[in-house]
Amino acid sequence: MDVFFRSGDAARESADALIVPVAAPANGGEPLTGPAAQLDADLEGELARLAADARFSGKHGSTLVVPTLGRLPARRIVLAGVGTPDDLDAEAVRRAWGAAAIAARDAGAARVASTMPPSGTGLDPAASLAAAAEAAALAVYRFTKHFGAGRRDDPAPRTLDALAFVDEGLDQAEADAALARGAAIAAGAALARDLVNEPASVLDPAAMADHARRVAETHGLVVEVLGPPELATIGAGALLAVGKGSASEPRLIRLTYRPESDRGANGQTGSTAQTMPRTIGLVGKCITFDTGGYSIKPYEGMLEMKGDMAGGAAVLGAMTALRALGCRHTVHGIIPAAENMISGTAFRPGDILTAMNGVTIEILSTDAEGRLVLADGLVYAARQGAEELIDLATLTGAAVVALGDGTTALFADDDALATRLLDASAAVGERFWRMPLIAEFNDKIKGDVGDIKNTGGRQGGAITAALFLQRFTEGKPWAHLDIAGSARAAKGNGYVPKGATGVGVRTLLAYLTA
Ligand code: BES
Ligand code: MN
Ligand code: ZN
């Protein structure tokens, strides 16, 4: 989809559809205001009557598609509910433009025009435009690359080809910059979604490394890929053990972003309101398939395990957008990648591994493999010079039991870091919930014949997994995002379609550019 801005009068645009916001009547007042009221006048009040008939109230995320039958240059009007003006924020704009883009596409519109999304106190016009463009792109995402000959008789899937924002007020350069920001964020999330949706037969650790090389090339990052011999040299015994059972060998991938200068590439200034530039390590679990190993998963448990690399995918997705967003920090993206399989060379329960920092790990379950690859990933990130660590992982079923679908469990041993991440997640509309690191539970993972065990039993399973990771953070401030419940969605919700969600990408980008 092509998204651009043009100076002009949106109401005069010829297009397959024209998106127009409608605010919810605060207290049963006049339903159509702003640009919708103007179009309603052009249509002699029929737009308001149709909206009233359909009980369209402007509730946020609701839409109404109205054909104009030759009476306006646009063939359809898509009314997009933005909720009450008091509740207007970037999320209201994202919900509205996501829903409107889907409604336009599903009505068969390919070339769509849009009025400016609303702005107000706390939401300037450029930020609102960026949010609208970002959400439209996120909403119309589909994973169709494996559709084949068996689909030939299906009606062709509709696509939204172009979205033109048209307005007289906003400056072209400012609008272009806002749209570029929205596009970079949406593209990062789309890459993460693509990788999670991809089957394990296509996306193995080496293929993930190839994606990282391509990302580095395209976005001006340094890339380093370590295979088994290099991993043995640095002592990454935990990652090596998890990958041993697979014919697809493990990889440790590092991408490094360095800002152009203290100012940042995109005009971000080093104002005192912003945090000082620092070096941040992002570590993403990338198990390209998790059978559970010899502690094998049952049928249902294994079904979605091609997505057990969503943490790594989020890191890679976020890395793509740092240059475009003018991030002022140095960022290392570390992706420990392996496939957890069964074979004559696989690791076993009872094995004792030595991680990169010399900590020995007793294997109780080969299905608790995520924390093992993260152990080496975290140590590697810290030793690259990261002053702060954030890991993302589809780590535990226990996190899903605790919080249900759609919420990311946040653990952190630094309150300021936790607060900043919660703020970032709230700003982008990703639901995070902080969980406790209960230090007494360290007893549950105390080793019998090694330093620590890789599971702490069923109770508090997400917490003991986090406590395990904490042994590998080299004393750096650290946050852990358990995305087991939020990396995939069983059904679509707003601008997040069914399937891989790309969770984490937008929160990380908000955090890294705050
Ligand atoms: N990849 C799974 C966790 C998972 C479960 C992700 C459901 C997404 C949806 C992880 O490797 C795993 O198997 N965890 C075990 C840990 C247990 C053996 C201590 C779990 O949660 O059961
Ligand atoms: Mn597992
Ligand atoms: Zn796993």
One-letter amino acid for residue 404 of the chain: G
- Kindly give, in sequence order, each residue whose CB lies less than 8 Å from that of residue 228, ignoring residues fewer than 6 positions away: 240, 243, 249, 250
Instruction: Write down the number of H helices and E strands in the chain.
Output: 16, 20
Provide the Cα torsion 366, 499, 401, 475; round to 10°.
Answer: 60
Which CA distances in Å does 298 have to 340, 367, 512? 14, 11, 39
Interatomic CA distance for residues 102 and 512, integer angstroms: 30
Q: Where are the alpha helices (DSSP H) in 83-162?
A: 90-106, 125-139
Report d(CA 362, CA 449) in Å as an integer: 7
Whose alpha carbon is nearest atom 13 of ligand 1?
A: 367
- Residue minimizing CA distance to atom 14 of ligand 1: 396
Cβ 461 under 6 angstroms from ligand 1: yes
Instruction: State the Rg of the chain over Cα.
Output: 24
CB hemisphere CA count around 31 (13 angstroms): 19
Farthest CA pair distance, the chain? 82
Tokens linked to 430: 């990703």
Strands 499-500 and 488-489: antiparallel
Atom of ligand 1 nearest to the CA of 308: 1
- Give the three-class secondary structure for 252: strand
Phi, psi of 120, deg, nearest 5: -175, -160
**Cα 231 to averaged position of ligand 3 atoms, centre (Å):** 20
Please work out whether the CB of residue 428 comes within 6 Å of at least one atom of ligand 1. Answer: no
Can you read off the two tokens belonging to residue 66?
A: 């109205």
For the chain, domains (ranges, CATH) are: 2-167 (3.40.220.10), 181-261+275-512 (3.40.630.10)
**Beta bridge pairs of residue 433:** 409
The per-residue pLDDT for 265 is 44
Q: In this predicted structure, what is the pLDDT of residue 166?
A: 98
DSSP symbols for 330-378 = EEEEEEEEEEE--STT---TT-EEE-TTS-EEE-S-TT--HHHHHHHHH
Pick the ligand that lies closest to the CA of residue 292.
2
Question: Which pLDDT belongs to residue 74?
Answer: 98
Q: Tell me how far apart the alpha carbons of residues 205 and 287 are, in angstroms, rounded to a whole number.
A: 8
Q: What are the pLDDT tens digits along the chain (514 aa)?
A: 999 999 999 999 999 999 999 999 856 556 688 899 999 999 999 999 999 999 999 999 999 999 999 999 999 999 999 999 999 999 999 999 999 999 999 999 999 999 999 999 889 999 999 999 999 999 999 999 998 888 876 776 789 999 999 999 999 999 999 999 999 999 999 999 999 999 999 999 999 999 999 999 999 999 999 999 999 999 999 999 999 999 999 999 999 999 997 544 454 444 455 679 999 999 999 999 999 999 999 999 999 999 999 999 999 999 999 999 999 999 999 999 999 999 999 999 999 999 999 999 999 999 999 999 999 999 999 999 999 999 999 999 999 999 999 999 999 999 999 999 999 999 999 999 999 999 999 999 999 999 999 999 999 999 999 999 999 999 999 999 999 999 999 999 999 999 999 999 999 999 999 9
pLDDT the model gives residue 275: 76
Nearest protein CA to atom 8 of ligand 1, as residue: 484
Gap from CA of 290 to ligand 1 centroid (Å): 9
Instruction: State residue 26's pLDDT score.
Output: 58
State how far the alpha carbon of 466 is from the alpha carbons of 203, 404, 424, 470, 505, in Å.
Answer: 27, 18, 21, 6, 21
Atom of ligand 1 nearest to the CA of 369: 11
Q: Which helix H or strand E contains 231, and what residues bound it?
A: helix 228-234
Residue 360 to residue 354: CA distance in whole angstroms: 4
Please check whether residue 266 is in contact with residue 400, taking contact to mean a CB–CB distance below 8 angstroms.
no
Ligand 3 centroid from CA 372, angstroms: 10
Check the CA dihedral 490-493-498-503 and report its sign: negative
Q: Is the CB of 376 under 6 A from ligand 1?
A: no
Distance CA 207, CA 251 (A): 10
Distances (CA, A) of 245 to 240, 339, 343, 360: 10, 8, 5, 20
Alpha carbon 308 to chain centroid, angstroms: 14
φ, ψ of residue 446 in degrees (nearest 5): -70, 135
Contact 314, 502 (CB under 8 A): yes
pLDDT at 204 (0 to 100) = 99
Nearest to 42 by CA among 17, 70, 16: 70
* CA quadruple 472, 478, 480, 481: dihedral sign: negative
